[in-house]
Amino acid sequence: VSLKVTKQCNENNNKKQENNSEASHNVTPLLLDSWKPYKGTRANVKERLLKLRDCLESVCGIQWYGFATLGILTAVLSFLMDFSVAKLLQAHLWLYGKLEGHILLQFLCWTLYPACICAFASSFSHNICPFSTGSGVPEVRTMLSGIEVPHYLSLTNMFTKFLGLTCTLAAGSTVFLGKVGPFVHLSTMLGAYLDRLCRLIQGKKKDAGTEMMVVAAAVGVASCFGAPVSGVLFSVEVMSSHFALRHYCPCFFSAACGGLTFHLLSAWSRDGETLQALFKTNFPTATPFFPLEILLFALLGLLCGAGSRFYLFCHRWILKFTKTNRVFLTMLTTEKGLYSGLVVFFLALLTFPHSAGQYLASKWTTKQLLTSLLDSRQWSSQSHNASVRLELDSLEWSSSGAPIFLSLAFFLLMKEMWMLVLACTLPLPAGYFMPVFVYGLKKALEIKKGSLIVKWSYWPMSFFAKVLPKSYFLVGAAAFSGAVTHTLSPALLAVELTGQVTHAVPALLSTLLANALARSRNGLSFYDGLSISKKLPHLPSLKKACPQLPSTPLGQVMGVKSVQLQKAAGPAEVQSAVSNSSEAQIPVVDSHESQVFLGCVLRSELLLFLHRCQTQRIEGRLDEVCSIRPNSVVVSPHNTVQEAYNMLSVAPAQTIFVADRGKLVGQITWSEMKQILVGLAKDI
Amino acid sequence: VSLKVTKQCNENNNKKQENNSEASHNVTPLLLDSWKPYKGTRANVKERLLKLRDCLESVCGIQWYGFATLGILTAVLSFLMDFSVAKLLQAHLWLYGKLEGHILLQFLCWTLYPACICAFASSFSHNICPFSTGSGVPEVRTMLSGIEVPHYLSLTNMFTKFLGLTCTLAAGSTVFLGKVGPFVHLSTMLGAYLDRLCRLIQGKKKDAGTEMMVVAAAVGVASCFGAPVSGVLFSVEVMSSHFALRHYCPCFFSAACGGLTFHLLSAWSRDGETLQALFKTNFPTATPFFPLEILLFALLGLLCGAGSRFYLFCHRWILKFTKTNRVFLTMLTTEKGLYSGLVVFFLALLTFPHSAGQYLASKWTTKQLLTSLLDSRQWSSQSHNASVRLELDSLEWSSSGAPIFLSLAFFLLMKEMWMLVLACTLPLPAGYFMPVFVYGLKKALEIKKGSLIVKWSYWPMSFFAKVLPKSYFLVGAAAFSGAVTHTLSPALLAVELTGQVTHAVPALLSTLLANALARSRNGLSFYDGLSISKKLPHLPSLKKACPQLPSTPLGQVMGVKSVQLQKAAGPAEVQSAVSNSSEAQIPVVDSHESQVFLGCVLRSELLLFLHRCQTQRIEGRLDEVCSIRPNSVVVSPHNTVQEAYNMLSVAPAQTIFVADRGKLVGQITWSEMKQILVGLAKDI
């Protein structure tokens, strides 16, 4: 029976894989389907592919090819998306430019184009795969902590997410959402698929590990910006409590492949000869910054931290509002497309270049904004050409110095923050990291102005005249986005994006201070807020929201008693245990009275035992036929949920048993743990 | 009794701390020693210090001040050492220059100066603290994995190591050993001390965690070069199996403090205005490298990997040789000073500028070599001025092209490798990372020449004429040192040292390939080799040396049965258990016959129980008086050592119990685990 079951399982697997890819079809062991044509050719091809597999395996493990493929494919996806988004944006601006003189037509073009695109993306992703909306990072974090989240790794989801994200990005500056989060999710889905493929090629049938997913998290960030090191750091940070060192090299390898491919593709597409930093900067290398400026950077970090708390407060408020307000709730549940269209239309109204948009640099895309803010050469030339009010401010500041500008800028920033928060409610596949990064840049501009006032009154002019504003944007962006997401990798990302290693230390310091402020008093990060609002079983988020929760004793939250067998069980008891339990291991006790835990027995052995009993018509005893495996880890019901969780993370067989004074109480697998965490999440 | 014991313990602690520092003396709770003078003043000072403590604690936890102090102090130590070494080297070269014309005197000056310094350092460190010799990284790795290594964290060791290392570095290019490893060790010692101080200030008496040590490992690298990110990555890499995420922010914080202090000190000492990369480079930013060069970088990585295997083979051979050869053995055990003096004299003979030294750029220190090899401006001017044969080669290569140069360079490199391997046997506090880095640079020069030949015959000249050689040095150095130490952080270190982010991806790729080659077939890293030769109980090294060893079942290697109490134990049994065991927790079983494990009871409670029995003269039972804590983790004797090790790393109380089918077999703490690992290490 057991053989049959595994065979069936295997065949199912094969069929799935065949549908998905041509390559895997050929690599699977020879199928003896006589009705298929070209038997000889197929056999020939298969033999060669098997030889190729052996040849590949002799160099290094198949999974390493998987890591390389993951990196390269994600980078190609990232490049394709950038390319198509750029074309769509160009088309929009071209149309807008052609309608010059017809204000009404221009207005319709400006507002309806993004509104239609977003409405389409929203209803498309809702209809094809409703799980593809949002950033995906909270779900990826939950999956990385070992808990399965169904529907989030399907290929349908991947294609929906890819198309939806392209549409969202094509909406341009109106909905200035990013692509980091969705890309992490995309690469996770790709990674899960490649993982299955690798295991099929290797002929292994063991459960999927989280290795490919950890790697995929690193690749997502690395391929998005061609920044491998910050990708790996991001991957370390999203892990729940421990980063396993065996994932370290795969992460770096895959991220390096992804980063390299992304750089090569961008270099070739631009007909450029060389590989450069994504956002070229040319800060003078001789005098990057002065020692005393460190204090200003630290102040900037603290201000960004305070700003992030306000931003997170607004975000949580609107999350709650959309969940409790009846109008929003009905719209978000039934008319997602309409809601997206209306919100984007409203945002487009605000950003229309002939209305308030002139103050918002709305004609520029996120990427252009970043480039212009970070590049000192283009500084003066571009700010005069384009209708960029903000940049102009900073130039004119020294001449006018009136506080009107300050209040105006403040007003704009506040409004923009609300726009950003509103955009976050859109049911679209979208990332929230990049807008936060850009917002941080603008915030830094604000603070830079503040510091300019300070400079005016207190410190000697000559010293601060040399101070470069761009470094403040860089550091401010890193600090703000780091504080919002409770991570430190943005500091390194800022360095890798711009190629300015000299600013690594100030960026790091600023991000650390901002993080300290953002994390104080159990502050929730952006992703924690989303996790809790979605009631995801993610322990670190729960811990932040309610610190005493993970200290709950295991005994209080454990579910129903699990199936168990006694040592002397006969076929009837084994039969009922097998049909009642779906676990791979079933615990064995001394007797149902004493309940002393002995070990566990594999499900496959039990099936074999039943099979033998049926065919040979004998009444065997469990301990005479099957081997009871005693190598298991036991905790007591008085251990806390957090402790059990930690144990489960490192337990050899992904199962721990719970016994009170030698007596078996139950067992905990990841699915049990998931139920416990879902139960805990409900209480918040 | 228990109160007395803890009080005594506390007092002992206080006394130790008082000897060590003035500050801690004042912060300890008021001591009512009436004989001490200035009672009022002292009370006043103490009160203010306590207020200060509360004030500090209101901002953030005391341990964060500890992290900051650790970073700053390590950076100051690093700077002081650099400063004094520079002065000592200057003095040597000044003397050598003054003796121009007197070959014999010059010879004596050249050879005796480093020989005497090294002989002094060797006998000094041997006599004061014999544990201060060598790199210290293998011991730090062992300590980070949770196992105590006595004598390696004392303050005596720290001062000895600091002085010894200064002497070693002052020997200059003759013994071109580095300072990374010892600095990691130094910062660990400082960290352990600061940790004790912090816990004293907080008034906690709990056991020392590894947190400060993990942070210290990051700070060591960060303060050595002012490179915080690679410091943190190094810290992640030296962990044995899992990196706990709660150490992530402290690591970055402390490393940022250290890096910043180091940069500030260097900036102020050079009277410079700004903070720059340590080794300034000016690779052109417009064309850092061409896409096709990636292949050359990959090839370089593979060659570096192969070279590293040869180097590691030589290193292991000489380690074995010095352990088995009788002459070496007697010299190394009894006459360390003499041995060091002789070896350094021999090395100085070879590097004497009037003999073979002219080919070895021996007048240059490691730092100067790095600067000159990485700076393109100084390239042509310096190579003509100084007697640097190697650099000249590469310039003349295109004109002469004779294979004599190639063979000469090869011969020199081989000789230098042997010199390096010989220098590694010196019983001195010294680092082996930097020389390997520089050696990698030279190796890259070699390979660069090889690739030039290839270019000549196959590829168009015009393309490769633009190729910059320095980038090869950088990448080669990263790849070689990464391969020797089995780490990836050198790739990032190379970037942080030179400020060339554009080369991050090629350096990473090259390092990854070199690592793949070096790690294949269970290759041991440099530090693994040292760990095994020193028989340190470091599980990952043992696993590499003998892969089946960690799969040994726990039952086979467990020591004698531990002390246990039965539920109904009386005062006599408790008394004997307390005197026979030194653990903080003592396991309790149902009865000595059934041996069903119930939980454990705290030693302090047992002492209280005994005390009460003595004073009240009653015959109590254990389970009536003491609370048996059931929240413990149980493994079976069939679990492997590796599994038990992983469990122990995350176990809440740092103790796991071993029970076979409910019956207690023993318990495992870190000291038990150490014994098991020492036992396993003996078998190799």
- pLDDT for residue B306: 85
- pLDDT for residue B26: 43
- pLDDT for residue A177: 72
Number of domains into which chain B is organized? 2
CB atoms within 10 A of CB A372: 19
Of A264, A275, A646, the CB nearest to B502: A275
Q: Could you tell me if residue A74 is left (phi over 0), alpha (psi between -120 and 50 degrees) or otherwise beta? A: alpha
The amino acid at B388:
V
Of A263, A488, A637, the CB nearest to B505: A263
Q: For helices A603-616 and A2-20, what crossing angle results, to 10°?
A: 130
CA of B351, closest CA in chain A: separation in Å? 36
Distance (Å, whole) CA B366 – CA B173? 7
Last residue of a domain, one of A254, A269, A284: A269
- Binning pLDDT at 50, 70 and 90, where does residue B207 land? low
CB distance A285–B499 less than 8 Å? yes
Greater pLDDT, B510 or A24: B510
pLDDT of B528 strictly over 80: yes
Residue A537 neighbours by CB under 8 Å, 6+ apart: A142, A147, A673, A674, A677, A678, A680, A681
Chain B residues near residue A633 by CB distance under 8 angstroms: 633-635, 639, 643, 647
Of B60, B488, B638, the CB nearest to A252: B488
Of B237, B260, B509, the CB nearest to A505: B260
The amino acid at B629:
R
Largest separation between any pair of C-alpha atoms in chain A: 100
CB distance B252–A508 less than 8 Å? yes
Of B282, B501, B652, the CB nearest to A643: B652
- Binning pLDDT at 50, 70 and 90, where does residue B393 land? very low
Q: Which of B63, B501, B588, B600 to mutate to test the interface with A (most CBs of A within 10 A)?
A: B501
CB atoms within 10 A of CB A330: 11
Q: Which of A60, A463, A505, A510 to mutate to test the interface with B (most CBs of B within 10 A)?
A: A505
Residue B51 burial by CB count (10 A; 0-12/13-18/19+): exposed, middle or buried? exposed
* DSSP per-residue letters across B292-332: THHHHHHHHHHHHHHHHHHHHHHHHHHHHHHHH-HHHHHHH
CA of B108, closest CA in chain A: separation in Å? 42
Of A229, A273, A638, the CB nearest to B631: A638
Q: How far apart are the first and last CA of chain A?
A: 46
The residue of chain B with its CA nearest to that of A638 is B631
Distance (Å, whole) CA A515 – CA B253? 11
- pLDDT for residue B5: 40
CATH number, domain of B62, equals 1.10.3080.10
- Binning pLDDT at 50, 70 and 90, where does residue A180 land? confident
Last residue of a domain, one of B269, B301, B323: B269
pLDDT of A461 strictly over 50: no
Chain B residues near residue A660 by CB distance under 8 angstroms: 630
Average pLDDT over residues B329-358: 75
Chain B residues near residue A226 by CB distance under 8 angstroms: 505
pLDDT of B501 strictly over 60: yes
Chain B residues near residue A277 by CB distance under 8 angstroms: 501-502
Could you tell me which residues are beta bridge partners of residue B627? Answer: none
In this structure, what is the dihedral angle of CA atoms A153, A154, A156, A161, given to the nearest 10 degrees?
0
Chain B residues near residue A501 by CB distance under 8 angstroms: 277, 495-496, 499-501
CB distance A244–B241 less than 8 Å? yes
Instruction: Please tell me the least confidently modeled range out of A254-268, A466-480, B296-310.
Output: A466-480
Last residue of a domain, one of A229, A246, A269: A269
A648 in any annotated domain: yes
B14 in any annotated domain: no
- Put the strands of the sheet holding A565-566 in their side by side order: A565-566, A585-589, A597-602
Total H helices, total E strands in chain A: 31, 7
- pLDDT for residue B76: 92
* DSSP per-residue letters across A358-391: GGTTTTS-HHHHHHHHH-SHHHHHHHHHS--HHH
Distance (Å, whole) CA B503 – CA B285? 10
- pLDDT for residue A411: 52
Read off the pLDDT of residues A200-245 as tens digits, 9 standing for 90 and up. 887 766 655 678 888 888 898 888 878 888 888 888 887 767 788 8
- pLDDT for residue A491: 85
CB distance B274–A264 less than 8 Å? no
Average pLDDT over residues B156-179: 80
Greater pLDDT, A44 or B542: A44
Could you tell me which residues are beta bridge partners of residue B666? Answer: B658
CA of A336, closest CA in chain B: separation in Å? 38
Chain A residues near residue B260 by CB distance under 8 angstroms: 294, 505, 509
CA of A253, closest CA in chain B: separation in Å? 7
CA of A421, closest CA in chain B: separation in Å? 28
ipTM of the shown complex: 0.80
- pLDDT for residue B380: 32
- pLDDT for residue B73: 92
The residue of chain B with its CA nearest to that of A646 is B650
- pLDDT for residue B416: 62
pLDDT of A467 strictly over 70: no
B608 in any annotated domain: yes
Mean pLDDT of chain B: 73
Range of A3-17, A246-260, B611-625 with top mean pLDDT? A246-260
Q: Which of A57, A64, A235, A274 to mutate to test the interface with B (most CBs of B within 10 A)?
A: A274
Size of interface A-B (CB pairs under 8 A): 245
Distance (Å, whole) CA B93 – CA B49? 50
CB distance A661–B598 less than 8 Å? yes
- Binning pLDDT at 50, 70 and 90, where does residue B72 land? very high
Read off the pLDDT of residues A571-614 as tens digits, 9 standing for 90 and up. 777 788 778 877 777 888 777 777 777 777 888 888 887 787 77
Instruction: Print the domain residue range for A632.
Output: 554-683
CA of A399, closest CA in chain B: separation in Å? 28
CATH number, domain of A617, equals 3.10.580.10
Average pLDDT over residues A553-574: 76
B456 in any annotated domain: no
pLDDT of B220 strictly over 80: yes
CB distance B662–A597 less than 8 Å? yes
Beta strands in A287-347 (DSSP E): none
Of B60, B267, B492, the CB nearest to A229: B492
Chain A residues near residue B517 by CB distance under 8 angstroms: none
A19 in any annotated domain: no
Contact B608, B2 (CB under 8 A): yes
pLDDT of B35 strictly over 80: no
Distance (Å, whole) CA A586 – CA A563? 7
Chain A residues near residue B228 by CB distance under 8 angstroms: 504-505, 508
Read off the pLDDT of residues A320-339 as tens digits, 9 standing for 90 and up. 888 888 877 887 777 778 88
A146 in any annotated domain: yes
- pLDDT for residue A442: 59
CB distance B635–A639 less than 8 Å? no
- Binning pLDDT at 50, 70 and 90, where does residue A459 land? very low
- pLDDT for residue A72: 92
Distance (Å, whole) CA B302 – CA B306? 6
pLDDT of B4 strictly over 50: no
* Percent of chain A's residues with pLDDT above 90: 2
Read off the pLDDT of residues B398-451 as tens digits, 9 standing for 90 and up. 333 334 444 445 555 655 666 677 777 777 666 666 666 666 665 555 544 444
Specify the DSSP element, H or E, that contains A657: strand A656-660
The number of angstroms, rounded, from the C-alpha of A150 to the middle of its chain's C-alpha atoms is 16
- pLDDT for residue B455: 37
Instruction: Please tell me the least confidently modeled range out of A5-9, A647-651, B104-108, B456-460.
Output: B456-460
- Binning pLDDT at 50, 70 and 90, where does residue A537 land? confident
Q: What is the DSSP letter of A592?
A: T
Mean pLDDT of chain A: 73
Contact A283, A247 (CB under 8 A): no
Of A512, A639, A661, the CB nearest to B256: A512
Read off the pLDDT of residues A493-536 as tens digits, 9 standing for 90 and up. 877 777 777 778 888 888 999 888 888 877 788 888 888 888 77
Q: Which residues of A256-279 are buried (b: 16+ CB within 10 A; e: fewer)?
A: bbbbbbbbbbbbeeeeeebbbbbb
Of A291, A501, A646, the CB nearest to B496: A501
Chain A residues near residue B650 by CB distance under 8 angstroms: 242, 646-647, 649-650
The number of angstroms, rounded, from the C-alpha of B479 to the middle of its chain's C-alpha atoms is 20
Distance (Å, whole) CA B218 – CA B229? 9
- pLDDT for residue A33: 58
Instruction: Please tell me the least confidently modeled range out of A478-492, B202-216, B241-255.
Output: B202-216
Q: Which of B650, B658, B668 to mutate to test the interface with A (most CBs of A within 10 A)?
A: B650
A227 in any annotated domain: yes
Distance (Å, whole) CA B528 – CA B512? 19
Contact B212, B191 (CB under 8 A): yes
Range of A19-23, A315-319, B375-379 with top mean pLDDT? A315-319
Q: How many CA atoms lie within 13 A of A570 on its CB side?
A: 5
The residue of chain A with its CA nearest to that of B495 is A501
A652 in any annotated domain: yes
Distance (Å, whole) CA B356 – CA B336? 27
CB distance A652–B639 less than 8 Å? yes
